[in-house]
Amino acid sequence: MRSRHWHILGAGSIGSLFACLFDKAGISCSLLLRDGDPALTQTTRRIQLRAGGLTSEHSFPVTSGAHAAPIHYLLVCTKAYDLVDGLAGLQPWLAPNAVVVLLANGLGYQQTVAARWPQLAVFSGSTTEGAFREAGQCVLRAGRGTTWIGGRGTRDAPDWFSDWQAIDARCGWREDIDTVLWHKFAINCAINPLTALHRCRNGALAEPGLADEVRALCLEIAAIGQAAGQGEAVAGLYRSVMEVVAATADNRSSMLQDVLAGRPTEIGFLTSFLVATADALGIDATDNKALLAALRPATHPVG
């Protein structure tokens, strides 16, 4: 058993997946809930992980920040629009220089966190792991992906990253994590909003008509990325997007799932952030603005 203990904020499908992977590797972790959450009446949460035809059972302590103090290692897997408020609620119990790994979709919140809490050791991550919650507390690992973690100006992986290398997943350290984040952001901006608007699975974006919409969005996104200094991240964007569309043809994007369930979406940290970046740089974003306007009634944008 390792001496480090990870607290996980955000026990959705991805948060639950990494909790189970940590547990399988013998790394101690617990699930953090906000004060007042009805689930706090339970001291333990049992999660069933189905992966590769096998099923494993995992149990985790469930606690609030007040009972978890001090928190030294924190993984944040909330929705983007909940991230800053969730982190703010934990501030009294975060140890000085606590390691905080942000693993949420979109862009914009990273700058807010860095500016608001400079005393924290904040790192960002991006994952292509596929996980879906089935009935109850059963999580299906739908596809093995790659997880990248890094921090600005941090060339070498710190000691705590050995925990991530010990789990049953492809995890790597990237000094240029901003490039990784922008690449995933650009792909999400091209796929998620369109699937939410047309209420379609990812594969439908390869069909005539919709593929043209994807291409137009990619041209704008790439131009905005170039102007923002992220040329490497958006190089060959349309090809990258269509590769993801083909590989995930039967999937419903997270934004489509949120729309169908009547939940808020992360549009504020995807297309809204993209459009704001374009405006600040004086770059045309006509197609993305039109998409954003068409989506607003359905997506309840936050952020």
* Active site amino acids: 184
Closest CA to 266 of 210, 185, 201: 185
Edge-to-edge strand list for the sheet holding 28-32: 130-133, 138-143, 44-51, 54-63, 28-32, 5-9, 71-76, 94-102, 121-127, 146-150, 170-173
Q: What are phi and psi of 24, to 5 degrees?
A: -65, -30
- Give first-to-last CA distance, the chain, whole Å: 40
Place of tokens 């013998």: 26
Other Cβ atoms less than 10 A from the Cβ of 1: the count is 7
DSSP helix/strand/coil, 133: strand
Closest CA to 171 of 187, 180, 88: 180
- Cα 156 from Cα 120, distance rounded (Å): 18
